[in-house]
Amino acid sequence: MNPTAGFEGSYLGQAARLPDRARLECKICWWVYDPDLGDPQWQVPAGTPFTALPGHWRCPQCDGDAAQFMVVTA
């Protein structure tokens, strides 16, 4: 097992593998990023794909790192 591979479903920064409309869930608190809604707390407008979030973006509910989000729907 490769410990750097994470677990299946993790985003892990692999932007090329995600479609623009993919919804992702925080593995810590289960908050879901939906590109159709954006993220008002971080002032991310609706229609922003997960892969286009700013580099400093973190889960608005628990401050989890974006690379640890899991793909819910692609």
pLDDT, residue 18, reads 87
Q: Global pTM? A: 0.83
On whether the CB atoms of residues 73 and 34 are closer than 8 A, the answer is no
Q: State the burial class of residue 73 (Cβ atoms within 10 Å of its Cβ: 0-12, 13-18, 19+).
A: exposed
Which domains, from first to last, does the chain contain? 17-73 (2.20.28.10)
- The string of pLDDT tens digits covering residues 38-47 is 999 999 999 9
